[in-house]
Structure 1
Amino acid sequence: MKAVWNDTVLAESENTVVVEGNQYFPHDAIKVEFFKKSGTKTTCSWKGIASYYSVTVNGKTNTDCAWYYPEPSDAAKQIKNYVAFWNGVKVVK
C-alpha cells in the first residue's frame, strides 16, 4: 500500500493494518522528511487520543492529514506506532 499526496509517496508498506476502513501504516514506513507534528488532538471513544501530523511537499502543506495513537487503548493496541491518512491523501495499492 502507498499513501500519496501532491504526486509524492508519503508512506509505503506491505504491512498495513485496517481499522474502520482506514489503512494504518507502520511508523517506519513513513517518509519522515515530509512530516511535522501538529498540536491537534482528538479523542475516539474506543481507540483513545489521536495526535496529528501535517505534511509539506514541494512547498504545499496539508494540515493534520495524518493521525496516530501514541498510547491507544487495549482494544486498539494493534495500531500503536501506526499512521493513517485523510484530507486528500490517497491510499492505493
Structure 2
Amino acid sequence: MEGCLALRVHAADAEGGRGPAGVLYNFCVARHRQGSGLGGRLLPAAVARARAQSVGSLFTATVGSGSLFLRHGFAPAGLRLAPEAWATSLDPRRGARVFARTL
C-alpha cells in the first residue's frame, strides 16, 4: 500500500441545524512516496466523494504541518462545529491541529 485516506460521514445535527459532516481519517502516504503528489491526488478524490454524499463540511486533524490541507482549501478550525463523536475522540495530549473546509 502506498497511501490511504478514509472518509466517514456523520449524520446531520438536527439540534444544531447543521447538515451531514465528513471526517477524513488515517491519511497517510508511504515514506518512499511522500513528495510525489500522491497525497495531492488522494485528498481531492476524498473531497469529491464527500460532495457526492451531500456533505456540507469536511474536518480532519493532523499532528503534521497541515500544509497539504491548507493548499486544498482547508483552514484551521475549532471543534465546536465538528461532529461531536469525532471531536470528543481526539486525544488532546497528541496536540493535533484541526482543519475544516466547507463544501
Name whichever structure is richer in helix by fraction.
Answer: 2
**Could you say which structure has the higher strand fraction?**
1
TM-score normalized by the length of structure 2: 0.26
Larger radius of gyration: 2
